[in-house]
Amino acid sequence: MTSTIPTGPVSPGRPVITVMIVDDQRAARMGLALMVNRADGLEVIAQAVNGQDALTQLAGLRSERRPLPDVVLMDVRMPVLNGIDATARITQLYPAIRTLVMTTYDQDDYAFGALSAGASGFLLKDTRTAQLHQALRAVASGDAILTPRITRELLNRHMLPPAATPQQRAARQQLGMLSPREREVAELVAQGLTNAEIAQRLTIAADSVKKNVTRILGKLNLRDRVQLVILLRDAQA
């Protein structure tokens, strides 16, 4: 059920990033809500006890023509409808909503499944408040939250057989649209490097890296960095 929670001050003129929290544990929901609402420009507008509850609430908001949340903070292991299936449905039905997966361990297979289902990022439940705020703002702006270990795991898991499959050929053809510099940037993104780290590696300005990433996602018709990592994985021999 949706809960009303006191919110912190918001700077005039700064757009508020709205958040839905989905977790089957009430204490976890309340704790996350307090962390989120502590930030300037972040506001929890809904809480759900599982994936199905989240979908029901989102459908209700849309039918009533009320604003949808910008970001969903999604637990993974929940009864009724888990975070993976809920993320896939939200990505399909509400493409403008970003989903940020929360889990206890970064080795969690369910969390990797959620990334493949369309989640824009991955955080541990013991993430510090400032890191959570930064992640919510990054995801809301269209960026993705991935660590180098997670991106390597995404690339290495479920390795495809040596013979090129139709999926591999399609991915390679898609990547062929990129210029050499764009391909270089894409591969560094897939290693989990930030824009600043890529800029340092290639000895170019960070703003140039950002423009390259935006151009890459546009050319390949991809939603975010997560989808770029998955595409590169699909292209691997």
18-47 residue pLDDT tens: 999 999 999 999 999 999 999 889 999 999
- How far from 190 is each of 102, 148, 161, 167, 172, CA to CA, in Å? 21, 8, 20, 18, 15
Residue 162: per-residue pLDDT: 47
State how far the Cα of 111 lies from the Cα of 125, in Å rounded to an integer. Answer: 12
What is the spatial distance between Cα 95 and Cα 156, in angstroms, rounded to a whole number?
27
Query: Which uninterrupted H or E stretch holds 19?
Result: strand 17-22
Give the angle 115-118-120 at the CA atoms, nearest 5°.
70
Q: What is the mean pLDDT of residues 92-115?
A: 78
pLDDT of residue 61: 93
Q: How confident is the model at residue 187 (pLDDT cuts 50, 70, 90)?
A: confident
Give the pLDDT confidence score for residue 233 in this predicted structure: 76
Q: Which of 41-50, 171-180, 201-210 bottoms out in mean pLDDT, i.e. has the lowest? A: 171-180
d(CA 138, CA 188): 19
pTM of the model: 0.65
Q: Which helix (H) or strand (E) holds 73?
A: strand 71-75
Domains of the chain (ranges plus CATH)? 17-145 (3.40.50.2300), 161-235 (1.10.10.10)
Predicted local distance difference test score (pLDDT) of residue 6: 39
Q: Cα torsion at 7, 8, 11, 16 (round to 10°)? A: -40
